[in-house]
């Protein structure tokens, strides 16, 4: 899994997730309470949330930002890799202005976008509600078109070739709500061909309410990402030992049954300002987070996606897991000092993370 500096090529990784246009605004706790939303959580919109989007646009200053967790991660990876089209992204959108914005943004940053289009729904949106000067965020996603992705899209020859030629796959937990059949198609392919499958726990509700598709895919996962809240929810829902020791939680998740015995599962848990936990080969390693002063934090939305993107960039280079994690930490610290999941225009990529 690790080595020294693989030669980068196009189509090394395929990502699957929900392409969403983020509608981001600085709001207040009262607005969250009105719509029964919690700090630092992510949910799918219900009927009671329908008025939220209109009210957000009319009452607050909003920014429209290309989003969707998986697409964000790939955009970040591409920015660090500086190799166009090393990653391929698939998800479903509507035929509208929003999907054009998403595609233009992602392609300009080097992602090879292979959207599935639908006539029946508009492109999905996600309300990004920032409070406490951007330090807290609450996400409410209206999937719309993203919910209509079908397995047919990965079966048609012009897209199947990307699956066949990729060495790595990254699928977010959010995609479990959309098309588990596609996840299993990719998971079985990765297992049969000894390729690396990465997944993300993504949000606590997925471990709670989408257990069956999650655990169907779980034996195929080589690298699992999650934050401390998601990991705690997962072990609780799986009746694994619940403890305050995040190292023990990571080890118990890593030890769950796995299909491909050629490599052991790696579990990576982020903890905000605290150390990143890496469970690998029955041992735990900690990588320190980089402290960003509160007055420099603009927007924590996308920090987790940026971490994964930084990690992926180094994995594609063939670098050791600790380097992958350090790059993830660095990428996340850059992102939280900007609006949305974007890098500063004058970004300086540290030498250790660049192509040789």
Residue among 305, 322, 339, 346 flagged as catalytic: 305
Q: What is the Rg, in whole angstroms, of the alpha carbon atoms belonging to the chain?
A: 19
- Rounded distance, CA 171 to CA 65, Å? 21
> Would you tell me the crossing angle of helices 97-108 and 69-81 to the nearest 10 degrees?
30
What are residue 144's DSSP bridge partners? Answer: none
- Three-class SS state of 150: coil
Signed CA dihedral, 350, 168, 74, 134: sign only: negative
User: Is 245 an active-site residue?
Assistant: no
Q: Are 299 and 339 in contact (CB under 8 A)?
A: yes
Q: How far apart are CA 33 and CA 1, in angstroms?
A: 45
Pair 123, 115: CB distance under 8 Å: no
Query: Based on the number of CB atoms within 10 Å of its own CB, is 77 exposed (0-12), middle (13-18) or buried (19 or more)?
Result: buried
At CA 29, angle to CA 176 and CA 98, rounded to 5?
Answer: 45
| Cβ–Cβ under 8 Å, residues 316 and 8 | yes
Dihedral (CA of 55, 230, 186, 318) sign: positive
DSSP per residue, 224-270: EEEEHHHHHHHHHHTTPPP-S-HHHHHHHHHTS--S-TTS--EEEEE
- Cα end-to-end span (Å), the chain: 19
Reported as half-sphere exposure (CB side, CA atoms, 13 A), residue 171 has a value of 26
Handedness of CA 308, 314, 317, 320 (dihedral sign): negative
- Which residues carry out catalysis? 305
């Amino acid at each position: 899994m690790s080595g020294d500096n693989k030669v980068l090529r196009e189509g090394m990784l395929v990502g699957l997730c929900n392409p969403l246009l983020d509608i981001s605004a600085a709001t207040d706790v009262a607005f969250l309470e009105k719509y029964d939303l919690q700090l630092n959580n992510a949910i799918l919109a219900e009927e009671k949330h329908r008025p939220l989007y209109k009210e957000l646009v009319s009452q607050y200053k909003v920014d429209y930002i290309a989003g969707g967790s998986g697409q964000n991660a790939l955009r970040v990876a591409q920015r660090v890799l500086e190799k166009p089209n090393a990653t391929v992204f698939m998800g479903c959108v509507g035929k509208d202005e929003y999907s054009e914005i998403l595609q233009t943004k992602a392609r300009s940053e080097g992602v090879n976008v292979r959207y599935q289009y639908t006539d029946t729904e508009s492109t999905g949106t996600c309300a990004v509600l920032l409070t406490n000067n951007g330090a807290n965020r609450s996400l409410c996603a209206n999937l719309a078109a993203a919910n209509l992705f079908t397995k047919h899209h990965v079966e048609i020859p012009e897209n199947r070739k990307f699956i066949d030629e990729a060495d790595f796959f990254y699928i977010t937990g959010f995609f479990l709500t959309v098309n588990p059949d596609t996840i299993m198609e990719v998971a079985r392919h990765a297992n049969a061909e000894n390729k690396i499958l990465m997944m993300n726990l993504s949000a606590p509700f997925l471990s709670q309410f989408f257990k069956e598709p999650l655990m169907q895919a779980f034996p195929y996962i080589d690298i699992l990402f999650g934050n401390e809240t998601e990991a705690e929810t997962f072990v609780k829902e799986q009746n694994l030992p619940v403890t305050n020791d995040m190292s023990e939680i990571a080890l118990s998740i890593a030890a769950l049954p796995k299909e491909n015995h050629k490599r052991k599962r790696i579990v990576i848990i982020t903890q905000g300002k605290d150390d990143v936990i890496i469970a690998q080969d029955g041992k735990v390693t900690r990588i320190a987070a980089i402290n960003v002063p509160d007055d420099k934090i603009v927007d924590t939305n996308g920090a987790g996606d940026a971490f994964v993107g930084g990690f992926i960039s180094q994995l594609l280079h063939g670098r050791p897991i600790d380097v992958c994690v350090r790059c993830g930490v660095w990428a996340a610290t850059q992102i939280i000092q900007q609006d949305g999941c974007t890098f500063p225009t004058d970004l300086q990529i540290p030498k250790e993370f660049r192509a040789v």
